[in-house]
Chains A and B, each alone.
Chain A
Amino acid sequence: MDATLQHLLRDLAPQVLGAVARRHGDFAAAEDAVQEALIAAALQWPASGVPANPRGWLYHVALRRITDHLRSDLARRRREETVAGELWAEWAFVPPPDVEVGVDADDTLVLLFMCCHPALTPASAIALTLRAVGGLTTAQIANAFLVPEATMAQRISRAKAGIKASGVPFSMPEGAERAGRLGAVLHVLYLVFNEGYTSSTGATLQRPDLADEAIRLSRAVHALLPEDGEVAGLLALMLLTDARRAARTGPGGELIPMDEQDRSLWNPALIAEGVALVSAALSRGAVGAYQLQAAIAAVHDEAARAEDTDWPQILALYQVLERISDNPMVSLNRAIAAAMVHGPRAGLELVAALDGDARIAGHYRLDAVRAHLHERAGDPARAIAHYRAAAERTASTPERDYLTLKAARLAAEQREKPGAGD
């Protein structure tokens, strides 16, 4: 199957699934039927050509499959008394393929809302979203998360059972519930992006790109809800972060921190798009956490050199973000920004205040930030100790290597100038 056809099918899959699920009510049955329709399309279209109305084609084939399954169930149950005509009458409800069907884009959104239902764990919601909305196969999703295919298949089927058990109707939630659910959708997309962006190296080449997939799905949500500032903010945040991807790791997969990245490798088109999105969102008011994070990423991306970074602006944005998010990681980032504006001592004082926060106390990032700030303050002994402590606690291989190397470099510098302290 060529890439164009694959793209087309993946774009159509959630729309068709949404329409079939809305008409039929049983999500699991709808999903099976749409999968069968997609397989039929993948087999037939390369030879017969793509039909004039591919969405309608898939919709009808899927509905027909459901009817087939229903018919055989019915036949089993009422083998004797069934009148053939009664069954065929059911067929008549299915309109012929050339009639435009009620497949509307909002079904994709309803589908997303359903996949990100709070009754599901994040891992289940992610798997179901990638399968039902993203159109990835179970094998592809398993590969992306480096778990066996059978494990992922089980995760997905449990997620579907969870949706069935929760009795969630296939409809758009209203009012406050709708806003809450949109938050869950955005969080799932954010987690998918992060998984792709921070995944370790190794066999990455064989893994479908989760960061790209998260961006594709966020674009779809943004197209459906263009007025929502947080949707735009999340998409902008992804674009502005992804723009730095090529510069973020070296040839051996080693981590390159932002201030040492080759900025000519940053993607200017993604930066321009992200900046435009977040600027438009911020000018509409109702500022949210994703928009603020995107704004911070935009300030970084717009600096031609690390030393041109507008740190006072970043510090101001972190202060607003800290007020609305109550997240110690945000406070830690504010400490870094404060250090860039007011000096490392100011940063270290803010970090010290976080030791009393049980949510972050003992986290390796506290050590990593302290190490950086001590290094900048001209205290290599403390910096080395904190770099080593951070390296021993992180669970990320590239990050551990980076922190170990920082400690090793500082230690080597100290050895080269014995007693040369000032």
Chain B
Amino acid sequence: MKYMMMMHTPRGTGDYQVGQWSPEDFKAHIAFMHSYNKELMDGGEWVDGQGLAAPGEARLVRAGKDGAPVTDGPFPEAKEFLAGYWIVDVDSPERAYELAAKASAAPGPGGTPLNMAIEVRQVMSGPPKDA
């Protein structure tokens, strides 16, 4: 079964809270994410994963009456933003929660776990197998 894990991170004084960290803390965080991704790939659970560009240019788009795009944003008041996501293929929802918890505890300033909110959603599948 496939799950999408969405990493919501708090916004700092700029778009990136990490912009205020010390170089060592930032490097440790990047190294953690690298080894986390490698573990998912080596373990055969990785399907996809992408980091998203900073939310400064983010727009919400709706079609207007004539079908033309109507854009709203950016949203500097938002407290959190979607920083990236993974799609993993795992045997159970518990395994997805376990993986999400690990990502949530990525190191922040001083090596303290960030405990970010990771939203876990099952990816819908094709039609069920015939009995």
* Minimum distance in angstroms from B86 CB to a CB of chain A: 12
Residues of A contacting B54 in the complex (Cβ-Cβ under 8 angstroms): 391-393, 400
Q: Establish whether residues A388 and B14, one from each chain, have CB atoms under 8 Å apart when the complex forms.
A: yes
B91 part of interface (Cβ distance < 8 Å): no
Number of interface residues of B (CB under 8 A): 22
A381 part of interface (Cβ distance < 8 Å): no
Supposing A388-B14, A391-B16, A392-B15 touch, asked if A412 and B22 sit within 8 A by C-beta, the answer is yes
B23 part of interface (Cβ distance < 8 Å): yes
Supposing A391-B19, A395-B53, A397-B51 touch, asked if A408 and B30 sit within 8 A by C-beta, the answer is no
B21 part of interface (Cβ distance < 8 Å): yes
Which of A252, A391, A394 is the one whose CB lies under 8 Å from B31?
A: A252
Nearest chain-B residue to A201 (Cβ)?
A: B34
Nearest chain-B residue to A392 (Cβ)?
A: B54
* Minimum distance in angstroms from A67 CB to a CB of chain B: 41
Nearest chain-A residue to B25 (Cβ)?
A: A408
Is chain A's binding surface mostly helix, strand, loop or mixed?
helix
Residues of B contacting A202 in the complex (Cβ-Cβ under 8 angstroms): 37, 49
Q: Establish whether residues B16 and A401, one from each chain, have CB atoms under 8 Å apart when the complex forms.
A: no
* Minimum distance in angstroms from A92 CB to a CB of chain B: 51
B111 part of interface (Cβ distance < 8 Å): no
Supposing A394-B53, A408-B23, A412-B22 touch, asked if A388 and B16 sit within 8 A by C-beta, the answer is yes
* Minimum distance in angstroms from B17 CB to a CB of chain A: 11
Residues of B contacting A405 in the complex (Cβ-Cβ under 8 angstroms): 23, 26-27
The docked-state distance in angstroms from the alpha carbon of A184 to that of B31 is 41
Q: Establish whether residues A404 and B51, one from each chain, have CB atoms under 8 Å apart when the complex forms.
A: no
Is chain B's binding surface mostly helix, strand, loop or mixed?
helix
Mark each residue of chain A from 373 to 394: 1 if its CB lies under 8 Å from any CB of chain B, else 0.
Answer: 0000000000000001001111
A253 part of interface (Cβ distance < 8 Å): yes
* Minimum distance in angstroms from A312 CB to a CB of chain B: 34
The docked-state distance in angstroms from the alpha carbon of A394 to that of B18 is 15
Q: Establish whether residues A392 and B56, one from each chain, have CB atoms under 8 Å apart when the complex forms.
A: yes
Mark each residue of chain A from 403 to 414: 1 if its CB lies under 8 Å from any CB of chain B, else 0.
Answer: 011011101100
The docked-state distance in angstroms from the alpha carbon of A388 to that of B49 is 24
The docked-state distance in angstroms from the alpha carbon of A15 to that of B37 is 42
A302 part of interface (Cβ distance < 8 Å): no
Residues of B contacting A99 in the complex (Cβ-Cβ under 8 angstroms): none
The docked-state distance in angstroms from the alpha carbon of A4 to that of B7 is 46
Supposing A392-B14, A392-B16 touch, asked if A254 and B57 sit within 8 A by C-beta, the answer is no
Residues of A contacting B15 in the complex (Cβ-Cβ under 8 angstroms): 392
A203 part of interface (Cβ distance < 8 Å): yes
* Minimum distance in angstroms from B12 CB to a CB of chain A: 10
Supposing A388-B16, A404-B16 touch, asked if A412 and B57 sit within 8 A by C-beta, the answer is no
Residues of B contacting A254 in the complex (Cβ-Cβ under 8 angstroms): 30
The docked-state distance in angstroms from the alpha carbon of A202 to that of B51 is 11
B61 part of interface (Cβ distance < 8 Å): no
Q: Establish whether residues A203 and B30, one from each chain, have CB atoms under 8 Å apart when the complex forms.
A: no
B1 part of interface (Cβ distance < 8 Å): no
Q: Establish whether residues B23 and A393, one from each chain, have CB atoms under 8 Å apart when the complex forms.
A: no
Residues of A contacting B51 in the complex (Cβ-Cβ under 8 angstroms): 397
Q: Establish whether residues B26 and A404, one from each chain, have CB atoms under 8 Å apart when the complex forms.
A: yes
Q: Establish whether residues B34 and A412, one from each chain, have CB atoms under 8 Å apart when the complex forms.
A: no
Nearest chain-B residue to A200 (Cβ)?
A: B51
Residues of A contacting B41 in the complex (Cβ-Cβ under 8 angstroms): 203
The docked-state distance in angstroms from the alpha carbon of A253 to that of B18 is 19
The docked-state distance in angstroms from the alpha carbon of A224 to that of B65 is 55
* Minimum distance in angstroms from A402 CB to a CB of chain B: 10
Nearest chain-A residue to B41 (Cβ)?
A: A203
Residues of A contacting B19 in the complex (Cβ-Cβ under 8 angstroms): 388, 391-392, 404, 407-408
A residues neighboring B (CB under 8 Å): 202-203, 252-254, 388, 391-395, 397, 400-401, 404-405, 407-409, 411-412
Q: List 30 A-B contacts (CB under 8 A).
A: A202-B37, A202-B49, A252-B30, A252-B34, A253-B34, A388-B14, A388-B16, A391-B16, A391-B19, A391-B54, A392-B14, A392-B16, A392-B19, A392-B54, A392-B56, A393-B54, A393-B56, A394-B53, A397-B51, A400-B54, A404-B16, A404-B18, A404-B19, A405-B23, A407-B19, A408-B19, A408-B22, A408-B26, A412-B22, A412-B23
Contacts beyond the supplied A405-B27, A411-B20: 18 A-B pairs with Cβ under 8 Å: A203-B41, A254-B30, A388-B14, A388-B19, A392-B16, A392-B19, A392-B56, A393-B56, A393-B57, A394-B53, A401-B30, A404-B18, A404-B19, A405-B23, A405-B26, A408-B19, A408-B21, A409-B23
